[in-house]
Structure 1
Amino acid sequence: MTERVVPGRADGLITLDAADALWGGLTAGGAVPTASGVFTRSPATRARTGYVLLGSRVVATARAGGGRWGVAEREVRRAAAELNAVVMDRRDLVRVGPFRGAPEPERDEETPLRWRWRVAGELGEPGGPGRGTRHEDGRPCHLVGIDWRRLLVEHSSDGTRRTWWLPRAVVRLLDAAEYAERRWLRAARISETGTAVAEPSSHPRRAEDADGRRATSPEGPAASPRPYGRELEGQLYSVLSRKPGISQKVAGWVCAVCGGAPATVLDHCHEHGYVRAPVCQSCNTRERPDHLYANDVRVANRYTRLFHTDADDWLRHWHRCTGCRARTTLPLPHLAAWTAFIACRSLRPTHRAPRGREPCGTLCVSWAGSQNAPRSCLFTVTVDFCPAGEHRVLARVSYREAAERFRGWLAETAPAVAAASGPDRLDGLPAQPRPVVVDPGGEGLGLF
């Protein structure tokens, strides 16, 4: 099945046509559908060697005899095994566009993938790359070997405005591919200038320097993203987002919520304007309220992770905002969703199901007024498409009552977060008072 390009080579180079057939055969039974023709396009020729993105893995290509390109069969099999191990829930979706006012990515970015920009261009979003995302023969382009069009879900809320969604597992995969490509190109660039040695493989290893010692490549721990340590706490997003180089700085951190994926965006509180932390795109989308209109939220099952399974992590993240932490509350849409999902859980009707009783209809919450006028702000929790009634009101809760109930729930669910909240916290004061000693230069007391 595999046509050898370099006989007897240890890593077993095969032609790109053979690699295409191998990739398709190995990934045929996986959860993520793959595309054809992954290798047969002209490979990139950056840093003296080409490469192909397969899933979240960078697979290097090499020019062999006769001017043909080849790829290590072992690396193709590894990439296929990693992709086949991905568990995907097609119902757990992440919005990938279009976003109004989203800036176009810079042309000098280190990664050529820019998959969101490519998706926007192929689907016809204004400002996208247009036909630049297609093959020369007009076929839609693949992304990291994935046939993403088979996974794309399109929603239209009012019949005119479309939104595009992909499974969360695929979004994480594409984000990881962008990060892997950026690191690979950076290592190749440093290797080309002679400041480090990086092998042309999917994971450049350490190499020996002239003295025979082991030199760490840019792919080592020094280039890995570091955990976020509250470096941006208390800063305003409107100021910080305009600083040059902030995107590269954010990419140097690990997501402050999941702690696994590299950070891609700077999450901030839309109510108070303070920066929370750098997060990955998946976590940033997960906590974004699912608005039907400007003043209501659809409370779906994803709030189970926000307010139950991973509640401690998300509450700590939301309270990285100085305003929310001082008021011991959440932004208005999140507090409204919490009121519907937690405070009014016992009021939601249920119906019989094969595995017991299940909640009826679609849970929604709307509000009238603003958090800036808490006396007049009112939450209305409803169930739509309920068998007992097409539109059923479950409860009406004032903002003040919801905030008070949230504080009590916070103290029980995340006591450490609750203890760090409140307007009476003075973080700037020292833990121990400074000693007062006699000032030898005068009659008074000096504070040192």
Structure 2
Amino acid sequence: MSERVIPGRRGGLITLGAADALWAGLTAGSAVPTASAVFTCSPADARAGYVLLGGRVVATVKAGGSQWGVPEIEVRRAAAELNAVELDRQDLVRIGPFRGAPKQNEKTPLRWRRRITRELQEPGDTGHAARSEGGRPHHLAGIDWRRILVEQTRDHTARTWWLPRAVVRLLDAAEHTETQWLQAARTRQESAAATEPSSHHRQTLAVDGRQTTSPHCPAPPRAYNGELQGHLYSVLSRKPGISRKVAGWTCAVCRTAPASVLDHCHEHGYVRAPVCQSCNTQERPDHLYSNDIRVADHYTRLFDSHIADWLHHWHRCPGCRARTTLPLPHLAAWTAHTACRSLRPTHRSSRGSGARKPCGVLRVSWTGSQNAPRSCMLTVAVDFCPSGEHRVLARVPYREAAERFRVWLAETAPAVATAAGPDRLDDLPTEFRPVIADTSSEGLALF
């Protein structure tokens, strides 16, 4: 960016208008679409002391009079981080609407899921331009989410909204960073109030709790190194302050977004690791009954392209690791997607290229329980196949499925297989809880 585009430089600061131009120029080729006027239009507010750009907080400083500026180097760093993000428009995460109000961290003003839901549900939607003129939020953390929002309709009545997983992680990171920023601001204010005389104390927080002067940026989340290994979720989740402790880690799966929840094995009850909301929902099926799973395309990532990371994560549960297996729903999905892949019918592609693609919708169900492996049976079927509405591909006994998985695990992820085995049964509960699906909410507690 040439010098003439960023006038008003004072000690490394540039004006808000110059920062808008700089941001737009630096992110013009980014895979994630960005908005214009990110420093001067809603929801940005320089008087708050910061502006969110991607997952980074950029401080705003009052340069004199009514003029506000931002450090040029911080804008460039935020742009470089955003430009490094790879966007897969096919890897989508549902963001709403849900039956209940979306779970949000009330400590941060961003609350991006609620903002998007509220904006999309408003009647008389006249488009992006009208929203910008009305002062309503048309971007979040510098990202123009409307350009990549996907709307799907089920049964011609129910609308659902989806965003690429990379963008969901960015917005989650922005929300987490903002929460830390505000906590640091409050800490500084309380420290100043304790050390300064009351007659000289100066209020630094606005009415809504935002900082009017810029505190130092809080420390970024640290990498998770197995600190919670072997803990029971039923015990750990009740400890005071555990949510704040979880937020101090980076997601143990993707290792990019800040963690927000404790993922745990619902079959054995052990904590696996702190993960972000995106990874916590990635392993869940598109549709789930008490013993019936639709094996959707996202299982390609779980069992193919990102298999080593996910196997390691699932085997953080001592119960799964000791028995060299997976919880019953995961094992059933693996059996349908991987072990029975060659049995699935295919048909010619509509493009006429000669390639063939899988037909119908893959589904797996089971009878019995993992607690009675001799009687447990997995049934793999294809729904809506032209050659049969519900075509059964295979019936696999639980023990056979588990043995197939052990062989495949040794070939696919030797390091994970080496760490597993029947010689590591110490401290495991004698009776595991039965697999019970919670289909009454979007949480899908089975997973």
TM-score category (smaller protein): 0.7 to 0.9
Shift of 1:340: 1.2
Q: Secondary structure at the match of 1:174?
A: helix
- Say whether 1:31 aligns with 2:28: no
Deviation at 1:43, TM superposition (A): 1.8
- Report SS of the residue matched to 2:45: coil
Contact 1:275 1:321 in 2 (8 A): yes
Question: Separation in 2 of the partners of 1:98 and 1:321?
Answer: 32
Q: How does 1:125-140 map to 2 (within 5 A)?
A: 137=134, 139-140=136-137
Which residue identity does 2:88 align to in structure 1?
Answer: D
Identity %: 69
Deviations 1:250-275 (A, max 9, x none): 01222222333322211112333322
Do the aligned partners of 1:300 and 1:362 also contact (CA within 8 Å) in 2? no
Q: Which residue is equivalent to 1:329?
A: 325
The one-letter amino acid of 2:327's match is: P
* Aligned mate of 1:181, from 178, 183, 190: 178
Secondary structure, counterpart of 1:258 in structure 2: coil
Q: Is 1:65 aligned with 2:61? A: no
Q: Match of 2:162?
A: 165
Measured at CA, do residues 39 and 55 of structure 1 come closer, stay the same or move farther in structure 2, by a change above 3 Å? same
Distance 1:99 1:246 in 2: 26
Larger Rg over CA atoms: 1
Given the superposition, is the C-alpha separation of residues 58 and 227 from structure 1 closer, same or farther in structure 2, using an over 3 Å criterion? Answer: closer
Is 1:367 matched up with 2:365?
yes
Q: TM-score, normalised by structure 2?
A: 0.74
Contact kept, 8 Å, 2:24 with 2:34, in 1: the verdict is: yes
Cα deviation, residue 380, structure 1: 2.6
| Residue 405 of structure 1, CA deviation | 1.8
Name the residue aligned to 1:348.
Answer: 344
Q: Does the Cα contact within 8 Å between 1:2 and 1:19 map onto a contact in 2?
A: no
- Identify the residue that residue 45 of structure 2 maps to in structure 1: 43
Moved more, 154-163 or 237-246: 154-163
Q: Distance in 2 between matches of 1:366 and 1:120?
A: 33
Question: What is the CA–CA distance in structure 2 between the aligned matches of 1:262 and 1:331, rounded to whole Å?
Answer: 26
Residues 388 and 150 (structure 1), Cα distance of their counterparts in 2 relative to 1, 3 Å cut: same
> SS at the partner of 1:59?
strand
Distance 1:71 1:218 in 2: 14
Question: Is contact 1:380-1:396 (8 Å) kept?
Answer: yes
Give the Å deviation of 1:300: 3.4
Once the 2 structures are TM-superposed, how far is the Cα of residue 12 of structure 1 from its aligned partner? Answer: 4.5
Residues 424 and 342 (structure 1), Cα distance of their counterparts in 2 relative to 1, 3 Å cut: same
C-alpha distance in 1 between matches for 2:22 and 2:239: 46
| Whole-angstrom CA distance in 2 between matches of 1:252 and 1:151 | 30
Following superposition of structure 1 onto structure 2, how do residues 11-410 of structure 1 map, counting pairs within 5 Å?
11-14=12-15, 16-24=16-24, 26-40=26-40, 41=42, 43=45, 45-46=47-48, 50-99=49-98, 104-107=103-106, 109=107, 111-124=108-121, 137=134, 139-157=136-154, 162-188=159-185, 193=191, 219=218, 223-291=219-287, 293-352=289-348, 357-371=355-369, 372-386=371-385, 388=387, 391-410=390-409
Aligned-CA RMSD value:
3.5
Report the AA paired with residue 325 of structure 1.
Answer: R
**Alignment partners' CA distance in 2, 1:161 and 1:377:** 36
1:431 counterpart residue number: none
CA distance in 2 between counterparts of 1:218 and 1:77 reads: 16
Structure 1, gaps ≥5 residues long: 126-133, 196-203, 206-216, 429-448
Taking structure 1 as the reference length, the TM-score comes to 0.74
Where do 5+ consecutive residues of structure 2 fail to align?
Answer: 123-130, 195-213, 428-447
Q: Structure 1 residue 391: deviation in Å? A: 4.5
| Separation in structure 1 between the aligned mates of residue 61 and residue 230 of structure 2, nearest angstrom | 49
Cα distance between partner residues in 1 of 2:134 and 2:413? 56
Contact conserved, 2:6 with 2:22, CA < 8 A, in 1?
A: no
SS at structure 2 position matched to 1:91 = coil
1:298–1:362 CA contact under 8 A, matched in 2: no
Q: Give the secondary structure class of the aligned counterpart of 1:64.
A: strand
Please identify, of 136-145 and 282-291, the stretch whose mean Cα deviation from structure 2 is larger.
136-145
Q: Which digits, 9 at most, give the CA deviation of each residue in 1:94-141, with x for residues without a partner?
A: 22334556774454x3x432323333443459xxxxxxxx88936344
1:9 alignment counterpart: 10
Quote the offset at 1:74 in angstroms: 4.8
Q: Is the 8 A contact 2:102 2:114 kept in 1?
A: no
**Secondary structure at 2:249 match in 1:** coil
When the two structures are aligned, how many residues end up with a matched partner? 391
1:364 maps to a residue whose letter is L
State the alpha-carbon separation in 1 of the partners of residues 57 and 110 from structure 2.
Answer: 12
Checking the alignment, whether the CA contact within 8 Å between 1:55 and 1:145 is kept in structure 2 is: yes
